[in-house]
Amino acid sequence: MARLIAARRTAVVPRGGAFARLSIEDLASPVLLACLADAGIRPDQVDEVILANALGAGGNPARRVALAAGLGHVPGLTIDRQCAGGLDAILLARALVDSGAADVVVAGGVESTSRRPLRLRTDPEGGLPVAYDQAPFTPWPDRDPGMADAAEALAQRLGISRAAQEAWALESHAKALKSNHSAEIVPLAGVTQDAFPRRLSPGLLARAPIVAGSITAATAAVAADAAAVCLVVSDRIAQGRGLAILNGATVGGNPEEPGLAPLAAIQRLWQGEPLAMAEIMEAYAVQAIAVVKGAGLDPALVNPGGGALARGHPIGASGAILAVRLFHGLQSGRGLAAIASAGGIGTALLVDSSGA
């Protein structure tokens, strides 16, 4: 059984902040090296580096990060499953290890929203290229909503009010402000803590700009820069250390309701047995509320150190950040991480501190 024996991340910094000048390899290579040092693993022992990246322009960022970290023998594999990619990278690492194809795999995600390339769509008729921001997530334009519009449609269908969303956001920030995440954060560019958590008030929430219907700037996670890396190894290497990766699943759902996609993934892994901790992605407050309620999770166990509403959303890294939080926060028992992705994709991970 594959085990997770080290997990680190950078702080999460909103776009245009302290990480704005850093490249993808600037963000991720120090985190990779910190994981190896934490676990006492030599660079030459690493079989593969799998990293998610959603906004880059190709060029195999995982290979670039491996080279920057001095792992020239590692080919590197970059995946794009948008928000779910960082968690899916860990599931791929688990599959390599459990199959016997690898003993040591570095897995996670990295995103520089600040340095993302500009996107232009060429005109097949020879006209000028047209700039665009969101890539298509389905082949059907009429079934490919913007993420904020999809969140608002979910709020309307499930009757989740703006007040409920604001209450969730307020609590996310409050929990983050009370937490010390220094053990999981690799200092970078002078930043040692997440930059975004703040003291929200009803007045501030009421003045937040509306994004779509009941969705406001306070109940949608801000675009951000960060990297998160986990070290997934075989039992032979782990020797009882870390968290056992019990199971994982990625499921395709309705692309018009991406926020609900994690429910099917969670159902494949978890049948209601006791959990000690759950990390649920907060791209939007409404999405987190819908997943927690739909899966029957105890809200008291969810995101105990705050969620993405209080951190920010570095797309390719966000799923891996959930795993890093589990690694450092789960003291005993089982932990669950789950994330939704554009296109109607849901990924979930189940770990155990004892491996039972």
Give dist(CA 238, CA 355) in Å, integer. Answer: 11
Residue 52 lies in a domain: yes
Q: Closest Cα partner for 343 from 145, 85, 86?
A: 145
Note the pLDDT tens digit of each residue in 241-288. 999 999 999 999 999 999 999 999 999 999 999 999 999 999 999 999
Band (355; pLDDT cuts 50, 70, 90): low
Residue 348 lies in a domain: yes
> Is the predicted pLDDT of residue 326 greater than 80, yes or no?
yes
Band (132; pLDDT cuts 50, 70, 90): confident
Beta strands in the chain (DSSP E): 3-9, 13-14, 48-52, 77-79, 104-112, 120-121, 130-131, 210-212, 215-216, 224-233, 243-252, 277-280, 334-341, 345-352
Residue 137 lies in a domain: no
Name which of 7-11, 55-59, 110-114, 270-274 the model is least confident about. Answer: 55-59
CA count, 13 A, side-chain hemisphere, 112: 19
Structural domain harbouring 22: 3-116+183-190+218-352
Give dist(CA 212, CA 170) in Å, integer. Answer: 19
Band (354; pLDDT cuts 50, 70, 90): confident
Residue 148 lies in a domain: no
Residue 211 lies in a domain: no
Band (130; pLDDT cuts 50, 70, 90): confident
Domain count for the chain: 1
**What pLDDT score does 283 carry?**
97
Angle at 93 between CA 91 and CA 96, to 5 degrees: 115
Residue 296 lies in a domain: yes
**What pLDDT score does 356 carry?**
45
Note the pLDDT tens digit of each residue in 182-191. 999 999 999 9
Query: Is residue 269 classed exposed, middle or buried when 0-12, 13-18 and 19+ CB atoms within 10 A define those classes?
Result: middle
Residue 155 lies in a domain: no
Residue 195 in contact with residue 288, Cβ under 8 Å? no
Distance of CA 222 to the CA centre of its chain: 13
Give the catalytic positions in this structure: 83, 313
Residue 279 lies in a domain: yes
Which CATH number belongs to the domain containing residue 313 in this structure? 3.40.47.10
- Which two structure tokens, joined as six digits, stand for 88? 């899916």
- Name 163's Cβ contacts closer than 8 Å, sequence gap at least 6: none
